Amino acid sequence: MSVLVEVRRLTTPQDLFHAAAEEVLRAASNAVEQNGRFTIALSGGSTPRSLYTLIAANASASLPWDKMFFFWGDERHVPPDDPESNYRMAQESLLSKVPVPPANVFRVPAENPDAAAAAEAYEQTLRKFFAVKPGEFPRFDLILLGMGPDGHTASLFPETAALQEKSRLVVANWVEKFKASRITFTLPVLNSARCVAFLVSGTDKATALHEVLEGKAPPEKYPSKLVQPSEGKLIWFVDRAAASELSAA
């Protein structure tokens, strides 16, 4: 099955955040109309933070918060109050500012000193919430992702073990350059989503973006290339700086 890919080139980072916020609103209202709920996985990073801040400031009244269910596509191996925590970032920039019921927020229990156990616990949370049977994967309405300058996404870093995972939903992934574990959704979860949206801003991402969208390098070197939701939509929100090494539109 071919993947529906849309590259949305915006001019400034602000344009990118506005376009992505509109997509979140659209996806939420479609999902609630069709299924009575909206499931979204958030990402860490500075680009998503600006999106969350914008949604909290402008769209708080237009979203069906009681029908929205929040998860995280990846987490750093730190407690929820740590400055590095992706949960803390989303909590501070968005979730604490809107009327979302606390029971709709499912964070990674990354305070567990055993990263593999934290990943396993989060996998069970997903299995239960989505009622997935063995061999199946949850189908998120929307997964938001950032991309690092090395082409990583979620915590799927180049040439790391998690890239090979075919059956687990969430794994701990050792990242040698940080000498730390991260907890991350696996590719089968990303690729089962109804929609995956990448937010990519800044010149430091230009080379990786070119490699991912147009280059010939092996995908293990640029893991974002492996995100191919086979029965979903893939949208790249990119600003002019990030798109500066892409061929002309």
Give the shortest CB-58-to-ligand 6PG separation in angstroms. 20
Residue closest to 86 by CA, chosen among 106, 66, 102: 106
Nearest distance from C-beta of residue 66 to ligand 6PG, angstroms: 26
Name every residue whose Cβ is closer than 8 Å to that of residue 60 and which is 6 or more positions away in sequence.
Answer: 97, 98, 99
Residue (109 or 148) nearer to ligand 6PG, CB: 148
* Structure tokens belonging to residue 136: 């199946």
In the chain, the amino acid numbered 35 is N
In the complex, the smallest distance separating the C-beta of residue 77 from ligand 6PG, rounded to whole angstroms, is 11
Decide: 38 and 68 in contact? Cβ < 8 Å: yes
* CB closer to ligand 6PG out of 30 and 207: 207
Q: Which of 13, 109, 138, 148 binds ligand 6PG (CB under 6 A)?
A: 148
Q: Which residues inside 75-114 make contact with ligand 6PG, applying CB under 6 A?
A: 86
Q: Report the first-to-last Cα separation within the chain, whole angstroms.
A: 25
Closest of 4, 34, 33, 8 to residue 21, by C-alpha: 8
3-class DSSP state of 9:
strand
In whole angstroms, the minimum distance from the beta carbon of 155 to ligand 6PG comes to: 6
Q: Does residue 47 interact with ligand 6PG by CB under 6 A? A: yes
Going from the C-alpha of 200 to that of each of 1, 38, 50, 197, the distances in angstroms are 26, 23, 12, 10
The yes or no reply on residue 192 touching ligand 6PG (CB under 6 A) is no
Q: Which of 23, 74, 165, 211 binds ligand 6PG (CB under 6 A)?
A: 74
Return the range that interacts with ligand 6PG (CB under 6 A); candidates 40-48, 62-70, 189-197, 228-236. Answer: 40-48
Instruction: Give the torsion through C-alpha atoms of 138, 175, 166, 80, to 10 deg.
Output: -20
**Contact present, 212 and 228 (Cβ < 8 Å):** no
Shorter beta-carbon distance to ligand 6PG: residue 63 or 145 = 145
Whether the CB-CB separation of 63 and 101 falls below 8 Å is answered with no
160 binds ligand 6PG (CB under 6 A): no
Q: Which range in 39-47, 96-104, 128-136, 185-193 contacts ligand 6PG by CB under 6 A?
A: 39-47
Residue numbers at the binding site for ligand 6PG (CB under 6 A): 43-47, 74, 86, 146-148, 152-154
